[in-house]
Homo-oligomer: A and B are copies of this chain.
């Protein structure tokens, strides 16, 4: 990795502190990922991406910047990548998933703020995230109180633009959201000096849809029993989708899917048939937050679906490609993005419907409702999800946690009990 030190220095990073981070991550990755058995061979690509997470990909971003491209950071699946790409910019998801950044975040944010927000602010403050350092502008949104107010703080450290996501989904809110997408386009036009064209946007709408279909293809393999890919690996692919080069990502993920196709044909899986099938629903999991997946898959279960922003919410629903004018493209974009059922909306009945559908589709035995600590919207919505699942006879447990490892033992005990219960129900002997 020594080659990159010069680049990191140019990115105004705190090299000493960053060394600390670089020491921990590979060990952690080895323990969580490389210890898995029966992994698809094509996961090697993602292993490589992770090993170069602060290296090669950053180098690529820098090279693109040399060619005049802009790098746009975002924290949320509502920021439309289609616009970013169509204006010759590179979108990167920069939500942070490591406890490493939390203490720095707590210098400016109250301790009882969600760890994702604290880690994101801490990543910038500590100058140890080369993605943050590469961004020409970061795009926040008004999805929750914590983020909304955190952008005000982040503005002291870098260029921050905020999109105002509506809180309801009425016709007037859609009009408001179309307008916000246009304003985002205006921002990028100003930053790049490029004018958005119908053709460019059409091309990128098709490209991002293609990426969504690829992820959907991947997830579809998780519906089989035995499941040909672990939940941890599927999560990793999803996480990498947020910052990898889009064309390469599609190509490599389709290769992985071809391999999974073979596995399914041969009845091959990563876990035995009848392994208890868990769906996780709730808040996003950013790299390297693999906590719950790791617990489930070292406790006798397998995660087969994530109804989260690093899961189905990221790729379900495509943008309608039928449009004759830019105006219609904007409306199609707004429709697609407002089709995401985040708990930030009121009401948000669509999410319960999604969860019930996925339970059927992915043949889910039990649901883990995972909420990052101090996330009011998701934690309050738990009751309605719990009620709907119980009516269908699907067991559900709520796990509220942060990025620390302090509660791992306690969570493991609860997850093991859940999995034992499923095994008994299914008549699977341990």
Contact = CB atoms under 8 A, between A and B. Distances in A.
Contact of A164 (B168, B381, B400): B168
Contact of A145 (B108, B110, B376, B400): B376
Contacts of A27: none
Contacts of A110: 376, 379-380, 382, 400
Interface in A296-319: none
Contacts of A148: 167, 346, 377
A145 B144 contact: yes
A231 interface: no
A229 interface: no
A29 interface: no
B346 A380 contact: no
A64 interface: no
Nearest to A149: B380
B374 A374 contact: yes
Contacts of A347: 152
A150 B380 contact: yes
Given A164-B168, A374-B112, A346 B381 contact: no
Contact of A142 (B152, B164, B167): B167
Contact of A151 (B109, B346, B374): B346
A204 interface: no
Interface in A100-151: 108-110, 112-113, 142, 144-146, 148-151
A404 interface: no
B149 A376 contact: yes
Most B C-beta atoms less than 10 A away, residue of A144, A146, A162, A379? A379
Contact of A377 (B149, B153, B173, B384): B149
A110 B114 CA distance: 15
A111 to B, nearest CB: 9
Contacts of A149: 343, 346, 376-377, 380-381
B164 A380 contact: no
A392 interface: no
A112 B402 CA distance: 14
A148 B109 CA distance: 22
A172 interface: yes
Nearest to A348: B152
Nearest to A146: B376
A113 B376 contact: yes
Contacts of A259: none
Contacts of A426: none
A176 interface: yes
Interface of A: 108-110, 112-113, 142, 144-146, 148-153, 162, 164, 166-168, 172-173, 176, 179, 343-344, 346-348, 373-374, 376-377, 379-384, 400
Closest A-B pairs by Cβ, 3 of them: A149-B380, A145-B376, A110-B379
